[in-house]
Amino acid sequence: MHNTIQQKYSDLILASSSPRRKSLLNYLNIKYFQVEPNIIENIPPDLNNPVDAAKSIAHSKAISITQNFKSKYVISADTLVFLNKKIFGKPKSSSEAINMLMELRGQKHSVVTAIALKSPKTQEIYIDHTVTEVTMRNYSDEEMNKFVESGSSFDKAGAYAIQDNDFNPVEIINGCYTNVLGLPICTMIELFKRHGFIWDSRIATESKLADDICSIAESWDMEI
């Protein structure tokens, strides 16, 4: 019953099972209803470009639930990590997670998040993206194994969480912090403005918060 009421009074549908994306929308006081997208999340084999791959997956997530929410805005996102020409999605096993973390250790790599927004006015899906440069610290095998054994790697591109204070894998971040969390707030806001989504949020009246959102996010106590 509660979910039915929440859905009725939410103009935005979040097509994601990510607790980080949920936490970001909650912090911004944006009303939404969360629905898990109905797709098998794999990197398209014909797409070698990580930006194109992330856009394709984000589009698939949005379109998988669009038919059920024609009168609502639907937002989805997909995050991928890439080092040189290699794309890292979510690991499917402990050994794959360890291999990813070993390859990323001490390396500068990039994180891309693509956001897809379906407009109820046009029924079109609009997509934008953000790329952030991240440099990993030279963590030990013991630290890496402990993190993987905790089970926290499996729902994260590249097998790591930038916000994990115990593992703390990142040394330097150049760009948007919330992009690495899985939802670049400034890109999302621009999509909202561009396509007519009006929301009751603290950022609507505090423009400085929108500008500083990445630095503020670093201090949030968020589900990993």
* Residues known to be catalytic: 78
Burial (CB count within 10 angstroms: exposed 0-12, middle 13-18, buried 19+), residue 30:
buried
What is the dihedral angle through the alpha carbons of 131, 136, 142, 146, rounded to the nearest 10 degrees? -30
Tell me the two tokens of residue 193.
């403005």
Other Cβ atoms within 10 Å of 215 Cβ, number: 9
CA distances from 176 to 38, 98, 202 (A): 28, 26, 20
